Amino acid sequence: MIVSGSYPVAKWLSISLDAIGLFCFYCFLKQKPSFTRGFWILFSIIYTIKSAIGLAILTSAAIHTTWDGSNFSHIVLMDFVVAILDMPFFIAIILYTFDSKKIWAISRGEMANA
C-alpha cells in the first residue's frame, strides 16, 4: 500500500508488518516452525486488520477518483493490481498460522501424532 503524506509511523509500521509477513511466507514455504504459534496468530490478526484498512482506503480512493488518466488514477489502479497479487501471500500467512498442524507438531516434538 502506498502511504502518501506525512505519516512516517504508519508507513514504517506497514513496512515492518510486511517484512514479518515475508518471514512467515518463507517459513510456510520451507515448512519450518518459528517463534510460537500464538505469535503468528496475533500477527495474522494484526495483518488482517492492516490489510482490511488498506483495502478500505483503496476502495474509498477508487470510488472518489475521476478516471482521467492522471498519476493518481494510475496509482490507485496499480494498488488494486498489487492487492490482487498479494492474495497468495495473505493466504499463505493464514495457512501457516491456522492450518499447519504438522509444522507446529514438529516444533512441539509430537511428530508421531501429526
Domain limits, the chain: 8-113
Q: What is the mean pLDDT of residues 22-48?
A: 89
| pLDDT value, residue 45 | 92
Q: What is the mean pLDDT of residues 19-45?
A: 89
| pLDDT value, residue 5 | 57
Higher-confidence residue of 68 and 53: namely 53
pTM greater than 0.85:
no
User: Measured between alpha carbons, how far is 25 from 30 in angstroms, rounded to an integer?
Assistant: 9
Contact in structure between 105 and 111 (CB atoms under 8 Å): yes
> What percent of the chain clears pLDDT 90, i.e. is strictly above it?
11
* Spatial CB neighbours of 74, under 8 Å, sequence gap ≥ 6: none
Residue 102: CB atoms within 10 A of its CB come to 12
Average pLDDT, the chain: 80
